[in-house]
Amino acid sequence: MKLDAKIPEGPLQEKWNRYKATCRLVSPNNKKKLDIIVVGTGLAGSSAAASFAEMGYKVKSFCFQDSPRRAHSVAAQGGVNASKNYQNDGDSAFRMFYDTLKGGDFRAREANVYRLAECSANLIDQAVAQGVPFAREYGGYLANRSFGGVQVRRTFYARGQTGQQLLLGAYSALNRQVAEGNIELFSRHEMLELVLIDGKARGIIARNLDTGEIERHAAHAVVLATGGYGKIYYLSTLAMGCNGSAIWRAHKKGAGFASASWTQIHPTCLPQSGDYQSKLTLMSESLRNDGRIWVPKKENDPREPGDIPEDERDYYLERRYPAFGNLAPRDIASRAAKERIDAGFGVGPQRNAVYLDFAHAIQEYGEDTIRERYGNLFRMYEKITGHNAYQRPMMISPAAHFSMGGLWVDYELMTSIPGLYAIGECNFSDHGANRLGANSLLQACVDGYFILPYTIGNYLADELRAGKISTDHPAFAEAETQVREQLQRFLDIKGNRTATDYHKELGLLLYDKCGVQRTKEGLESAIEKIRALRADFWENLRVPGTSEHVNTELEKAGRVADYLELAELMCYDALTRDESCGAHFREEFQTAEGEAERRDEEYQFVSVWEYAAADQEPVLHREELEFETIQPSVRSYK
């Protein structure tokens, strides 16, 4: 595997403009001769597909949901970052670049991160033009609030439903192109294999989830926008359908997988209430603007929160990180919460939560103001828990949320397979070892609206000579045969355990050994147990029914089979990185104060993994990170 990041020459602030001025173009008349497949219809997929079609390409768009509107981007509640400096508090593209790079513990490319910050301002203008109802100040200006890891207000929001409103804008743009005949939409379809011809991505094999029909789809380029793999932990903030199968199938075809173990545990989720749960609920990080996080100073304190006086409360984030307080980055806030819970200071029926208290904010601003800012979140909390958060603190707990790792991509967002692109959360590109809040919606939109529409032309300019790609090519027949054989293999096992049963066991194992904290001993143990679990899966799985109609158990089986392989790679990745950085916290590598201890001399690189075989260890490649503008420093929020 050859890794070429293709970072343009020149000063950091000029790289993107230099690239756009010199990249190859496809003329308007030739665009209609080229086909692009986009898998996924979240913010990244919908924006990319709509942009391609608007430019004149012929696009096929795929989603496994019944409508693109059901993509998981709707769950990103709190806001989207942009360096417009509306608050005149010192923000700039460079400061946003620095905050993002530092927030990721200096484990991302400078060029990609600066481009993200540079393009952020354009996104807000685009969204407003689409009609996204961002919150506004009394005078009509767009409002902003802060998120974790920053000291300015750069987060634009639409109450607690920013992702949904942004997706409605992208969905409208997508539907317009569907109506124009430039996009062919395939809902209730799941990609099961990537097709390569002469080493280039030329199409996919998909299954119609309603009829069971296996379909071939060809194109000159394939774009994956399929989100992250955080659902591998089973209990997570992600929807039940979220999965990592598309990127894992691409990885097994030769696409490098980068930083697999960098998964984010979100600090502001509702705690688990019982074994019956299949997912956890995310409460927006925006709540940390006004909510204060605390636990009792007394272990196993049985008192109600209102009965605990101020001097017997430990506002531990404010105590440990006074400069950022309750807005410390997610990885730090999650570790701090877990430490307090593990030490015996947890609250709630299962002692697995901490308090998020709005009493001070209500006293200062009034309940009406807090209701205006977060009303829908408070209603959701009361509907789920039965408690009124205006009157007593919320209870929150860390939970699996986001994948910083994903398919390796270069500056053009192309994977190590020519013609295969990965955008949004399914690539590793912008966040390093920890993502700052409100940067996920930003990356998805920027990749789809402003970056890939430029960079894909640089590749497609040479593909006009290829002519129409035919699904009659032997590579499609071979890929379809492999898909059919695997589906039948699931059905033929006829064991006694469901795919969900295996998923639960895997999730518990991963959260314990490769979650908030990791150790060498724990990771080695996890690899052995994952291998044993995978072997049992292929002997004792039970999938009822057939493959010829709707069969959700068959869908789950394929996703869990992929998770059982991806989980092992996650543990390998964590095991081979003998340092702590961002969300990757190895207990052997911490300071005397319990903070992460980076080892830049040995590990200032991105781990990129090449698939070998199911029974072989993956092959490690390194993309060295060079910092020309900012020198990595100790990541302190004190």
* Residues labelled catalytic: 330
Q: Which amino acid is at 528?
A: E
Helix axes 552-575, 245-252, angle to 10 degrees: 60
Q: What does the DSSP assignment read for 391-452?
A: TS-EEEEEEEEEES-EE---TTSB-SSTTEEE-GGGB--S-TTSPPTT-HHHHHHHIIIIIH
Report d(CA 232, CA 316) in Å as an integer.
30
Q: Of all helices (H) and strands (E), which one includes residue 564?
A: helix 552-575
Under 8 Å CB-to-CB from 28, ≥6 apart: which residues?
56
Burial class (CB in 10 A: 0-12, 13-18, 19+), 237: buried
Nearest residue to 430 (alpha-carbon basis) of 109, 3, 6, 206 = 109
CA distance 255 to 416: 5
- State how far the Cα of 325 lies from the Cα of 327, in Å rounded to an integer: 5
- Answer for the pair 194, 160: CB distance below 8 angstroms, yes or no: no
Spatial distance between the Cα atoms of 99 and 505, rounded to a whole number of angstroms:
37
Determine contact, residues 113/81, Cβ cutoff 8 Å. Answer: no
User: Taking a C-beta distance cutoff of 8 angstroms, is the pair 448, 43 a contact?
Assistant: yes
- Residue 207, classed as helix, strand or coil, is strand
- In one-letter notation, the amino acid at residue 326 is N
Residues 6 or more apart from 598 whose CB is under 8 A from it?
105, 106, 579, 580, 581, 632, 634, 635
State how far the alpha carbon of 623 is from the alpha carbons of 112, 114, 427, 605, 617, in Å: 14, 18, 15, 5, 19
Torsion sign across C-alpha atoms 38, 412, 148, 268? positive
C-alpha distance from residue 255 to each of 27, 286, 386, 402 (Å): 29, 36, 47, 21
Amino acid letter, 266: H
